[in-house]
C-alpha cells in the first residue's frame, strides 16, 4: 500500500512544483474572479435585485451573491487548465511516463486529479482572502465548512477536464472545446444569477441550468459557506463526479481512447 | 497458429507472439513474433512508418492489441501488467523530462511512479547517475542539459528500478555523433552485463555484427537473426536498403 501513497505523493508533489514554476498562471487565475467581483459585480449591483433566498437570511449585496460562483469558476478554469496540460503532456511525451507506471491507471489519474484539485483549492482560498480584504466576508466557520465542497467540486470539474483531455487529440483543438464547455457551463448556472431570475425570462433555460452539474457545485459551495448542506446539490455533484470519473478511466483505457490514433 | 511460449522464454527476456494492430483500416503490425533473450542487444531496424513506435506502444501498454501475447521477463503483459511493467525500462523517442525540475527531482518522480521505497531512492539515483557520469549534474534543471545529457539522464532513469528488459525507441534521434556513439556503447555494455535490450532504429551504423537483428517493414518481420549472418558480405546499409526498397 505504501507504494500507492508514494506514487500519489509524487504526482501531487509534481503538480505543486509545476504550479510554483508557473506563478503567472496563479496570478491569472486570481485576476479573473477578482475582475468579476470588483468590476462586473459593482456594475451590475444596481441592475440585479436579489430577494432573500436560502441559504441567505437577509438581503445581501450582489458581490456577496457571486462569491460562491466565482470560487467554482476558479475550480472550473483550473480543471480545464489541468486537462489542457494533460493534452500538452501527451504531445510532449511525459504522459507516457505516467501511464507506463506499473500502478493501475485509474489510480494514476485519480492522483493527478487530486493534485490539480489541491492547487485549485489553494487559489480559491487566496481569492476568498482577497475578497475579505475588500469587505466581502462569510461566516468565519464557513471558510472551514466549505473545504469538502471545494474538494468535491474540484474533483468533479477536474474529472470533466480528464474526460475532455482523453478525447481531444491535439492541442489545437482545445481552444474550441474550451469555448463550448467553459462558457455554457458558467453562464448556464446559478453562479451569476439565481435560478428564479433565469425562470422569469425562460423556464427552459432555468431547467437547463438546474441540470448543469456546475450549478450544483456552486450551490454546494454557497450553502457550505453559510454552514448549511444542500443535499440535492451534494448528491448531484457526487453523482456527476462518479460518472465523469468512470468516463475518464474508460477514455484512458489503453485498448481504446487516448492513443488509438497515431499522434 | 501462434506458437506456444516455452518455459525457457517465459523465465526472462522479451517474447512476442502473433501481435497485430490496426489504426482503423491501416494495418500497423501484422502477426509479429519475436524473442529477445537476457544478455542480448537486439536491434529492431525499420524504415520510418515500419511500425516500430506502434510496437513500443504495445510493449509498454500505452496501447493494447486485441490479440497476440507479450511477455516481459516471463510476465504476461495482459494478465499481469503490474509485474510486467515493473520489470520494464523504457526510453521513449519523445523526450519525457520535466524541464523545470532538476535531474534529481525528475528521477525521484519516476522512482515513486514505480513504487520504489522512499528510503532507497536517493541511493539509487546517485548510483544511476554515477553509472552515466552525471552525478555532478544532479541538482541542475533538466532544461540546462544538452540533448546528449538529457538522453543519458533518461537512460539513467529507465534503469533506476533495475528492470530486466530495456526498450529504447530511436534513442539517438537528434544527437550528435559523439553522443550517439556514447549512448550506443553504453547500452551494449548493459546487454553484456545481462540486460535484455530492444533498441529500435532506422540507422544501420548503430547495429553491430554480433547484435541480434530484427528487420521490421510494413508491419512485418522481414529478417530475424545475427546481423553478421544476415547481411553476409553486403554492408548492412546496402542490405537494408535493398530489402526495404524492393518492398516499398
Query: Which residue in chain A is spatially nearest to B80 when comparing CA positions?
Result: A102
Q: Chain A contacts of B168, Cβ < 8 Å?
A: none
Task: Name the 3-class secondary structure at B75.
Answer: strand
**Cβ of B82 and A9 within 8 Å?**
no
Rounded to whole angstroms, what are the CA distances from A65 to A53, A61, A183, B85? 10, 6, 19, 51
Full strand arrangement of the beta sheet holding B69-72? B26-36, B14-23, B69-72, B75-76
Residue B16 has pLDDT above 60, yes or no: yes
Interface predicted TM-score (ipTM) of this complex, two decimals: 0.78
Q: Of A89, A60, A161, A74, give the one whose Cα is nearest residue A122.
A: A74
CA angle B244, B246, B248 (to 5 degrees): 65
Residue ranges of chain A with pLDDT lower than 50?
257-259, 261-263
The rounded percent of chain A whose pLDDT value lies above 70 is: 90
Residue B59 CB neighbours (<10 A): 24
Q: Chain B contacts of A254, Cβ < 8 Å?
A: 61-64
Task: Name the 3-class secondary structure at A225.
Answer: helix
Q: Of B58, B162, B149, B148, give the one whose Cα is nearest residue B103.
A: B149
| Range with the poorest average pLDDT among B4-8, B144-148, B170-174 | B4-8
**Cβ of A102 and B61 within 8 Å?**
no
User: B179 with B133, same domain?
Assistant: no
Q: Chain A contacts of B54, Cβ < 8 Å?
A: 262
Does a structural domain hold residue B129?
Answer: yes
Does a structural domain hold residue B227?
Answer: yes
Domains: count for chain B: 2
pLDDT at residue A48, as a whole number: 65
pLDDT at residue A56, as a whole number: 78
pLDDT at residue B5, as a whole number: 47
Q: Of the residues B129, B162, B195, which one is the last residue of a structural domain?
A: B162
Distance CA B88, CA B42 (A): 15
pLDDT at residue B167, as a whole number: 95
Under the banding of pLDDT at 50, 70 and 90, the label for residue B216 is very high
Distance, in angstroms, between A220 CA and closest chain B CA?
34
pLDDT at residue A173, as a whole number: 67
Distance CA A129, CA A138 (A): 10
pLDDT at residue A226, as a whole number: 92
User: B65 with B188, same domain?
Assistant: yes
Q: Contact, A149 vs A224, CB < 8 A?
A: yes
Does a structural domain hold residue B1?
Answer: no
Q: Which pLDDT tens digit goes with each residue over B98-116?
A: 888 899 999 999 999 998 9
Q: Of A29, A155, A21, A18, give the one whose Cα is nearest residue A98.
A: A18
| Host domain of residue B35 | 7-87+163-247
Q: Which pLDDT tens digit goes with each residue over B44-68?
A: 999 888 888 899 999 998 888 888 9
pLDDT at residue B248, as a whole number: 45
| Range with the poorest average pLDDT among A18-32, A206-220, B142-156, B217-231 | A18-32
Task: Name the 3-class secondary structure at A255.
Answer: coil
Residue B39 has pLDDT above 80, yes or no: yes
Residue B6 has pLDDT above 60, yes or no: no
Query: Which residue in chain B is spatially nearest to A262 when comparing CA positions?
Result: B23
> With a CB-CB cutoff of 8 Å, which residues 105-164 of chain B face chain A?
105, 108-118
Biggest CA-to-CA distance, chain A: 58
**Cβ of B108 and A102 within 8 Å?**
no
Residues 6 or more apart whose Cβ sits within 8 Å of residue A133: none
User: B180 with B149, same domain?
Assistant: no
Under the banding of pLDDT at 50, 70 and 90, the label for residue B71 is very high
Q: What is the domain-level CATH number for residue B70?
A: 3.40.50.300
Distance CA A158, CA B58 (A): 28
User: B128 with B150, same domain?
Assistant: yes
Amino acid at each position: 500500500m505504501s507504494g500507492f501513497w508514494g506514487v500519489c505523493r509524487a504526482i501531487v508533489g509534481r503538480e505543486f512544483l509545476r504550479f510554483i514554476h508557473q506563478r503567472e498562471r496563479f496570478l491569472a487565475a486570481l485576476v479573473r474572479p477578482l475582475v468579476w467581483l470588483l468590476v462586473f459585480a459593482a456594475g451590475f449591483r444596481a441592475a440585479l435585485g436579489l430577494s432573500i433566498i436560502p441559504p441567505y437570511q437577509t438581503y445581501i449585496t450582489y458581490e456577496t451573491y457571486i462569491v460562491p460562483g466565482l470560487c467554482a469558476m476558479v475550480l472550473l478554469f483550473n480543471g480545464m487548465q489541468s486537462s489542457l496540460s494533460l493534452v500538452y503532456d501527451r504531445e510532449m511525451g511525459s504522459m507516457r511516463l505516467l501511464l507506463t507506471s506499473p500502478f493501475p491507471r485509474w489510480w494514476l489519474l485519480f492522483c493527478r486529479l487530486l493534485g490539480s484539485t489541491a492547487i485549485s483549492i489553494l487559489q480559491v482560498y487566496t481569492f476568498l482572502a482577497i475578497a475579505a480584504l475588500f469587505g466581502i466576508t462569510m461566516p468565519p466557520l464557513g471558510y472551514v465548512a466549505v473545504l469538502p465542497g471545494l474538494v468535491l467540486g474540484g474533483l468533479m470539474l477536474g474529472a470533466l477536464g480528464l474526460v475532455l483531455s482523453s478525447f481531444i487529440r491535439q492541442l489545437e483543438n482545445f481552444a474550441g472545446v474550451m469555448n463550448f464547455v467553459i462558457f455554457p457551463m458558467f453562464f448556464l448556472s446559478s453562479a451569476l444569477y439565481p435560478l428564479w431570475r433565469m425562470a422569469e425570462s425562460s423556464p427552459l433555460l432555468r431547467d437547463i441550468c438546474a441540470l448543469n452539474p456546475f450549478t450544483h457545485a456552486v450551490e454546494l459551495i454557497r450553502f457550505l459557506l453559510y454552514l448549511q448542506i444542500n443535499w440535492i446539490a451534494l448528491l448531484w455533484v457526487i453523482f456527476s463526479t462518479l460518472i465523469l470519473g468512470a468516463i475518464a478511466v474508460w477514455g484512458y483505457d489503453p485498448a481504446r481512447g487516448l492513443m488509438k490514433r497515431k499522434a | 497458429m501462434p506458437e506456444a511460449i516455452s518455459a525457457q522464454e517465459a523465465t526472462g527476456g522479451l517474447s512476442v507472439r502473433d501481435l497485430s494492430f490496426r489504426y482503423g483500416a491501416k494495418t500497423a503490425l501484422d502477426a509479429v513474433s519475436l524473442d529477445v533473450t537476457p544478455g542480448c542487444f537486439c536491434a529492431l531496424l525499420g524504415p520510418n512508418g515500419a511500425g516500430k513506435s506502434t510496437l513500443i506502444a504495445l510493449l509498454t501498454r500505452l496501447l493494447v492489441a486485441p490479440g497476440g501475447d507479450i511477455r516481459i521477463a516471463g510476465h504476461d503483459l495482459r494478465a499481469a501488467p503490474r509485474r510486467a511493467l515493473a520489470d520494464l525500462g523504457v526510453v521513449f523517442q519523445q523526450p519525457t523530462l520535466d524541464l523545470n525540475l532538476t535531474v534529481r527531482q525528475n528521477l525521484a518522480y519516476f522512482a515513486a511512479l514505480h513504487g520504489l521505497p522512499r528510503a532507497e531512492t536517493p541511493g539509487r539515483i546517485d548510483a544511476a547517475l554515477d553509472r552515466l557520469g552525471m552525478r555532478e549534474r544532479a541538482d541542475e534543471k533538466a532544461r540546462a542539459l544538452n540533448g546528449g545529457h538529457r538522453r543519458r539522464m533518461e537512460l539513467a532513469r529507465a534503469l533506476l528500478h533495475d528492470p530486466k528488459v530495456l526498450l529504447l525507441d530511436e534513442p539517438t534521434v537528434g544527437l550528435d555523433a559523439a553522443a550517439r556513439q556514447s549512448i550506443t556503447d553504453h547500452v551494449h555494455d548493459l546487454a553484456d552485463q545481462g540486460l535484455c535490450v530492444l533498441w529500435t532504429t532506422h540507422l544501420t551504423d548503430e547495429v553491430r555484427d554480433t547484435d541480434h537483428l530484427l528487420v521490421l517493414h510494413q508491419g512485418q518481420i522481414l529478417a530475424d537473426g545475427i546481423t553478421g549472418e544476415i547481411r553476409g558480405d553486403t554492408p548492412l546499409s546496402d542490405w537494408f536498403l535493398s530489402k526495404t526498397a524492393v518492398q516499398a
